[in-house]
């Protein structure tokens, strides 16, 4: 474990004005709080917070962040409290420690909906003070470095979470060195055989051709000295995971993968970067399509550098990055460069991005998107690389890879995106689904009467565009959904001999915690809430009475104490031939005699029960699922629902499966009396000109096991 004086010495290397006494007090307080606690490896637990603090000194961070690292587990794992930390070390540090504690408790992997909600909390915490995520990333890095002491299942979980969330987040923050190390440490757990294979091949390559890095580095230095350019040159082999990812992306074997070496040239001035580029391209042949100028077109996290790939010594491809010292500091620290110290004062780096602006660019739509949309947006931001396109006036617009002209339009302004009818790329009219490439000029063609289409959601890739399209579609659909919801409720109420009133709807909305009756009707129309749920909310006795009648009188052949349920796979109706299958603890499940699921029970004749439906009038209480394809036009859905109601059937649920500009495909759950009732309903629907297709849905995968 690093001694407190050694830790202070690390800080003094970049911040001679550090408050050494406060560091000592925090070190001693953390050591005392964690006394008697041990890691899985058997080491004293406090070795971990000290190691995290040491990692943060490599980024030259301020005293508050270093102290937060020393105390980051105290509030969660010891008797320490926020009040005590605030009293001893100040509110700023107490809030940072509390923020890291809350991040630690967030489950960022697991169920999608919970993950989406927790991602939102993560970015809200980052928006308050980005230093909490810097401590959390350093915490994760040290845990990954020492992951061998964990149980194997825990190793796999942490490695996957690191690969999916923390490594991309570090990369999006510009901390590329941390991203690469996190990815490689996770790769070592997730796929050790692949990683070892790459290392073996790499060792074999070095044995055959020697260590080419010193030779190429010397070649570059000689060329630069000949031109009088002062610069530092560094070379390295790429990490195993970086090589593996490139092999997967390009579907190449290791022997065919060429650019496994990377070289970095750090110049004194920006003009020297371009002079160096000229020297490199004059001496070695440039590889077409492998040049990016992030100096003139910097990334959102402040990253600036020139990237080029050339055929170097012996025809080997090597990647070369060229940047100044200040650019290099931002490239290494990312947004953390904003807090970096040198000689006791905050570094004034003109290329460091203000974290507030960076976070605002990610979280500007907090109030506009639901949790899932926000998760989708943030993951796109984290995982995507960028292309740079131009407006007709020459302004640069950074876009993620795979972006389309529609994404481009929405990145300029939501109104431009909503009214987009076409686009020209480099002066040529192209479809809206065209994937944009680096350096292209994009002109958006707009029309005042245009509105976003549901199909646009399949075209765009940016979270901003998706959120704007969904918002517009919701607003446009709301009126139509309210009308449809009113019709569904009317039919459902009439089915049980009740009349819809404003008072009844207000009561249902209030009971279901909705803002007003319009919100209730809109949700019914969009299939988020069923009209049957409204009935059940207002008149629960109707549903109970109906189910009692069904269970008591519907089926003949059951013993007095036997209960039955209809199989979800075939949903048999009165009038159809049926058979029962017994289940321990589930009573008897009745199937239609032609249900394919019955083949599974051919070897268990003792479980079969001879049943038949009782004769007479059955109540319309047997749910059956229909698949409907209808024309997308004003009023069509309302007419279809009215038609279903006119046939004496009740719609208990409705779900949109697909929405296209010319048609809707939906599943409608209806309550029917018997097989004849189903036949009459299908006949009526088939005769309707707006119905393209209608069929009963039977799902063998839904049977009880």
The catalytic residues are 76-77
According to DSSP, the residues that pair with 428 across neighbouring strands are 425
Distance between CA atoms of 182 and 163, rounded to whole angstroms? 7
DSSP reduced 3-state for 657:
strand
Distance between CA atoms of 691 and 342, rounded to whole angstroms? 72
Contacts of residue 399, Cβ cutoff 8 Å, sequence gap at least 6: 386, 387, 388, 389, 407, 408, 411, 436, 462
The angle at the Cα of 89, spanning 86 to 94, to the nearest 5 degrees, equals 45
Distance between CA atoms of 347 and 370, rounded to whole angstroms? 38
DSSP reduced 3-state for 176:
helix
- Among 399, 365, 354, which residue's Cα sits nearest to residue 381? 399
Q: Which residue is it, tokens 């009165």?
A: 574
According to DSSP, the residues that pair with 346 across neighbouring strands are 341
- Among 432, 443, 428, 431, which residue's Cα sits nearest to residue 465? 432
On whether the CB atoms of residues 683 and 646 are closer than 8 A, the answer is no
When computed from its CA atoms, the radius of gyration of the chain, rounded to whole angstroms, is: 33
| Helix (H) or strand (E) run with residue 424 in it | strand 420-425
Using alpha carbons, list the distances in angstroms from residue 126 to 82, 121, 432: 19, 9, 35
On whether the CB atoms of residues 350 and 333 are closer than 8 A, the answer is no
**Hey, what are 141's tokens?**
């890095």
- Among 629, 578, 581, which residue's Cα sits nearest to residue 602? 581
- What phi and psi values does residue 295 have, to the nearest 5 degrees? -80, -50
């Amino acid at each position: 474990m690093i001694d407190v004086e050694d830790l202070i010495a690390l800080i003094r290397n970049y911040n001679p004005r550090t408050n050494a006494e406060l560091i000592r007090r925090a070190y001693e307080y953390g050591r005392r709080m964690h006394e008697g606690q041990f890691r899985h490896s058997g080491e004293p637990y406090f070795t971990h917070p000290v190691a995290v603090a040491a990692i943060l000194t490599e980024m030259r961070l301020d005293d508050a962040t270093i102290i937060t690292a020393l105390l980051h587990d105290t509030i969660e794992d010891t008797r320490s409290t926020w009040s005590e930390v605030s009293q001893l070390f100040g509110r700023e540090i107490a809030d940072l420690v509390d923020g890291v504690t809350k991040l630690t408790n967030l489950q960022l992997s697991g169920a999608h909906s919970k993950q989406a909600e927790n991602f939102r909390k993560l970015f809200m915490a980052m928006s308050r003070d980005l230093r909490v995520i810097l401590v959390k990333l350093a915490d994760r890095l040290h845990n990954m470095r020492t992951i061998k002491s964990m149980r194997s299942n825990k190793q796999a979980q942490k490695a996957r979470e690191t690969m999916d969330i923390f490594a991309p987040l570090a990369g999006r923050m510009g901390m590329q060195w941390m991203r690469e190390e996190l990815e490689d440490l996770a790769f070592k757990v997730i796929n050790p055989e692949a990683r070892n294979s790459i290392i073996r091949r790499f060792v074999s390559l070095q044995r055959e051709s020697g260590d080419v890095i010193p030779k190429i580095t010397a070649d570059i230095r000689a060329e630069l000295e000949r031109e009088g350019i002062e610069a530092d040159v560094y070379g390295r082999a790429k990490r195993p995971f970086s090589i593996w990812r490139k092999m997967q992306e390009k579907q190449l074997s290791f022997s065919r993968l060429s650019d496994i070496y990377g070289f970095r040239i750090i110049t004194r001035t920006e003009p020297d970067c371009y002079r160096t580029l000229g020297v490199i391209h004059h001496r070695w042949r440039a590889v077409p399509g492998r040049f990016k100028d992030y100096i003139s077109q910097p990334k959102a996290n402040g990253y600036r550098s020139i990237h080029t790939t050339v055929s170097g010594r012996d025809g080997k491809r090597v990647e070369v990055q060229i940047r100044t010292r200040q650019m290099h500091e931002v490239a290494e620290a990312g947004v953390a460069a904003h807090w970096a110290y040198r000689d006791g004062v905050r570094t004034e780096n003109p290329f460091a991005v203000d974290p507030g602006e960076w976070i605002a660019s990610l979280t500007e739509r907090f109030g506009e998107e639901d949790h899932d949309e926000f998760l989708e947006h943030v993951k796109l931001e984290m995982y995507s690389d960028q292309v740079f396109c131009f407006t007709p006036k020459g302004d640069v617009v950074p876009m993620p890879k795979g972006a389309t002209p529609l994404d481009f339009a929405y990145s300029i302004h939501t109104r431009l995106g909503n009214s987009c009818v076409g686009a020209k790329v480099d002066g040529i009219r192209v479809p809206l689904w065209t994937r944009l490439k680096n350096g292209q000029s994009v002109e958006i063609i707009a029309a005042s009467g245009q509105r976003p289409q549901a199909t646009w959601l399949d075209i765009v890739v940016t979270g901003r565009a998706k959120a704007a399209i969904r918002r517009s579609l919701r607003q446009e659909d709301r009126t139509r959904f309210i009308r449809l919801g009113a019709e569904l409720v009317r039919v459902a109420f009439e089915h049980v001999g009740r009349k819809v009133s404003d008072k009844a709807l207000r009561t249902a909305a209030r009971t279901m915690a909705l803002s007003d009756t319009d919100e209730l009707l809109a949700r019914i129309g969009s299939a988020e809430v069923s009209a049957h749920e409204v009935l059940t909310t207002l008149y629960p006795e109707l549903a109970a009475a109906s189910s009692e009648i069904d269970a008591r009188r519907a089926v003949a052949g059951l013993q007095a104490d036997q209960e039955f349920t209809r199989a979800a796979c075939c949903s048999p109706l009165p009038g159809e031939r049926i058979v029962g299958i017994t289940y321990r603890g589930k009573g008897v499940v009745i199937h239609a005699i032609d249900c394919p699921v019955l083949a599974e029970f051919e070897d268990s004749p003792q479980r079969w029960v001879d049943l038949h439906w009782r004769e007479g009038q059955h109540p319309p209480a047997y749910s059956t699922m229909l698949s409907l394809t209808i024309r997308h036009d004003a009023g069509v859905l309302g007419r279809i629902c009215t038609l279903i109601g006119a046939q004496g059937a009740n719609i208990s649920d409705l779900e949109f499966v697909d929405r296209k500009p010319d048609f809707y495909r939906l599943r409608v759950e209806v309550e029917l009396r018997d097989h004849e009732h189903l036949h009459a309903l299908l006949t009526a629907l088939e005769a309707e000109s707006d119905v393209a297709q209608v069929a009963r849905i039977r799902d063998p995968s839904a049977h009880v096991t």
